[in-house]
Amino acid sequence: MKLPVIKHLTNFIQENDQDYVLETIDTLEALTEVSSLKDEELDVIGELISNLYGAVEVDKMIKDGTPQKEALNTFMKRVLGAIDA
């Protein structure tokens, strides 16, 4: 996951609509079922999906009243904590 990408996507959600991101996630998840994709391609799609889901989570925190910077930092700490576990 890349924090600058998640921040950009969070801004996109705020300027547009979360539905665009959710539909993109659905589309990318459907693409992962293509049997001819190489592992590297699946890794890229997986990274995109992770960033999109991250932006949705951060957007939820912002809508609950958390400032964007704090929401981004909280989310990344949670992700890093899950990786370290």
DSSP structure class, residue 51: H
Residue 25 has a CB neighbour count (10 Å cut-off) of: 17
Each residue of 29-76: pLDDT tens digit? Answer: 999 999 999 999 999 999 999 999 999 999 999 999 999 999 999 998
Quick one: pLDDT band at residue 81, thresholds 50, 70, 90? confident
Global pTM reads: 0.89
Each residue of 7-17: pLDDT tens digit? Answer: 999 999 999 99
Residue 51 has a CB neighbour count (10 Å cut-off) of: 19
Structure tokens at 5: 């990408």
Structure tokens at 45: 């799609």
Number of H-type helices and E-type strands within the chain: 4, 0
d(CA 80, CA 35): 31
